[in-house]
Amino acid sequence: MSSHQGIEGLPNSGGGKIIAVHLNYPSRAAQRGRTPEHPSYFLKPWSSVSGTGGTVERPAGAELLAFEGEIAIIIGTAARRIRVEDAWQHVSGVTAANDFGLYDLRSADKGSNLRSKGGDGYTPLGPSVIPAEQIDPAALRVRTWVNGVVVQDDTSDTLLFPFAQLIADLSQLATLEPGDVILTGTPAGSSVVVPGDVVEVEVDAPSAPGTPTSGRLVTTVVEGTEPFGGFGAKPAVDDHQRIEAWGDAAAAGLPAPAEPPTAASPAEPLDPAVAEQLASVSTATLSAKLRARGYTEVFVEGVHASRPGPRMVGVARTLRFVAYRPDLFAERGNGFNAQKRIFDTVESGEVIVIEARGERGTGTVGDVLALRAQQRGAAGVVTDGGIRDAEQVAAFDLPTFSQGPHPSVLGRRHVPWEIDVAITCGGATVLPGDVIVGDGDGVIAIPRALAAEVAAEAVVQEAEDAWIAEQVRGGAAVDGLFPLNAEWRARYESEQGR
């Protein structure tokens, strides 16, 4: 049903813009497992609008028709490039909305939501508009009932992006005109409805004088009888869409999906004395001491310091990227993903080591995350991929090693997958808790159990090397001196008082 009958106070009955926000309530963001940094939007056609008492069709052959009770903002005066503090002046009122969606057609939309949310009757509004001057925009309540049972109940003071921010943001690019409608997001509780279900949505202002209300927006779900033709995408669902539509796996009658890995318990901090020894010796010397023990693949190949000078010593925390795939990025790339988790949980004295498969064609860390690591006291960052915002990162007091700069973001080549697991970075296997040392020659990974003895031996070796260098500066030939033969060693040990 696409009749506008019963929507009192809606000024634009001839068609306008319906702009919907993807995620805006923390409760819904938590349900989705991602919290956006900025609002994002999609359009719904005016032909999808209906009023109270109407019906919404679940098409023949479809399974997952879901409701979303929302607060709808109605624009009263044109708004273009306005300030946040002036935004509410352009609102004539608010009303109840139900942003119905058919998850069976999400795969056909490629992000537009036109087919999944644009059907006739998929945007009920009303029945009455609450004048904007009667209410505090941060003191509204939205509730949804299915067959008389409350399933959604939330308030506008919890929004991630307040109404004024949405209006100002949208007005930066497009003129908001009188009668345009902004659907401001749905709280947790959205789920699937079936033919025969009755969905009601109400928006009110409990703290305002007289408790102004939109009244109940009532919609009945009916079964479609006309099958989809063979000239477009047909309904198709999988378990991922079932979980998204129902709200969680249990409601969809499915086993819970595997949780993404979380951070392991932090490794024991490195002994300060060992750390001091490691900071005083070169990766070249450490490499030689490890090679003598049969460890030949400990050097992280191909990485270089963002700026010369600082040395890096710390305990490894690991992050693994897998190669980009759209479905995997949709599942693991958004919200508080593995990449953000490790930069937000790294501790003082730890080095974030990133496996990027040697793919330098996109950034794997940028200025914001590097700054976060610095603020948490991280000892450094190592990636065998690229680095974004290279000049800014180089200016931080945080040693960073990479294959070089690249401006692109993760979604070009990588999916952040898991943290605190064994990885291979630049050809070197790195375990959480391994000791990472970096200098002008590059980066080396030392098995934790060997760190103390290798450090002690390296200190002894570099003292010997320094003595040899003094002899060369005094005119001695290197034959027999480097390495020390018996005669030179006896002289060295004599001078050292051994």
Residues 390 and 459 both lie in one domain: no
Tokens 């007005």, residue located = 171
User: Could you tell me if residue 389 is inside a domain?
Assistant: yes
**Cis peptide bond N-terminal to 483, omega within 30:** yes
Residues 6+ apart with CB under 8 A from 276: none
Which of 303, 312, 280, 395 is closest to 354 using CA atoms?
Answer: 303
Residues 443 and 462 both lie in one domain: no
Q: What 3-state DSSP class applies to 242?
A: helix
Query: How many domains does the chain divide into?
Result: 3
Cβ proximity of 190 and 99 under 8 Å = no
Residues 53 and 100 both lie in one domain: yes
Residues 24 and 98 both lie in one domain: yes
- Determine if residue 367 is labeled as part of a ligand binding site: yes
Domain region containing 230: 18-246
Cβ proximity of 300 and 384 under 8 Å = yes
pTM of the model: 0.55
- CATH no. for residue 442? 3.50.30.40
Residues 193 and 126 both lie in one domain: yes
Pairing verdict, β 400-402 and 380-383: parallel
Cβ proximity of 123 and 99 under 8 Å = yes
- Determine if residue 120 is labeled as part of a ligand binding site: no
Q: What is the pLDDT of residue 14?
A: 55
What are the beta bridge partners of residue 386?
363
| Token reading at 107 | 């795969």
| Token reading at 111 | 């992000």
Q: What is the pLDDT of residue 3?
A: 42
> How far apart (Å, rounded) are the C-alpha atoms in residues 192 and 199?
11
User: Could you tell me if residue 11 is inside a domain?
Assistant: no
DSSP state of 263: P
Cβ proximity of 379 and 266 under 8 Å = no
- Determine if residue 327 is labeled as part of a ligand binding site: no
* Count of alpha carbons within 13 angstroms of residue 234, beta-carbon side: 8
- Determine if residue 388 is labeled as part of a ligand binding site: yes
- Determine if residue 104 is labeled as part of a ligand binding site: no
User: Could you tell me if residue 261 is inside a domain?
Assistant: no
pLDDT tens-place values along the chain, 498 residues long? 344 444 665 655 556 899 999 999 999 988 887 888 899 999 999 999 999 999 999 999 999 999 999 999 999 999 999 999 999 999 999 999 999 999 999 888 877 899 999 999 999 999 999 999 999 999 999 999 999 999 999 999 999 999 999 999 999 999 999 999 999 999 999 999 999 999 999 999 999 999 999 999 999 999 999 988 888 888 888 888 898 899 888 888 888 765 544 434 446 788 999 999 999 999 999 999 999 888 988 999 999 999 887 789 999 999 999 999 988 888 888 778 889 999 999 999 999 999 999 998 888 999 999 999 999 999 999 999 999 999 999 999 999 999 999 988 777 889 999 999 999 999 999 999 999 999 999 999 999 989 999 999 999 888 888 888 999 999 989 888 888 888 888 888 888 776
Residues 466 and 407 both lie in one domain: no
User: Could you tell me if residue 145 is inside a domain?
Assistant: yes
Residues 203 and 290 both lie in one domain: no
User: Could you tell me if residue 95 is inside a domain?
Assistant: yes
Cβ proximity of 157 and 33 under 8 Å = no
CA distances from 270 to 218, 277, 280 (A): 64, 11, 15
- CATH no. for residue 217? 3.90.850.10
Alpha helices for 376-485 (secondary structure H): 390-395, 451-473
> How far apart (Å, rounded) are the C-alpha atoms in residues 442 and 445?
10
> How far apart (Å, rounded) are the C-alpha atoms in residues 32 and 25?
11
> How far apart (Å, rounded) are the C-alpha atoms in residues 58 and 49?
16
- Determine if residue 465 is labeled as part of a ligand binding site: no
| Token reading at 479 | 């034959």
Cβ proximity of 238 and 104 under 8 Å = no
> How far apart (Å, rounded) are the C-alpha atoms in residues 338 and 442?
26
Residues 433 and 460 both lie in one domain: no
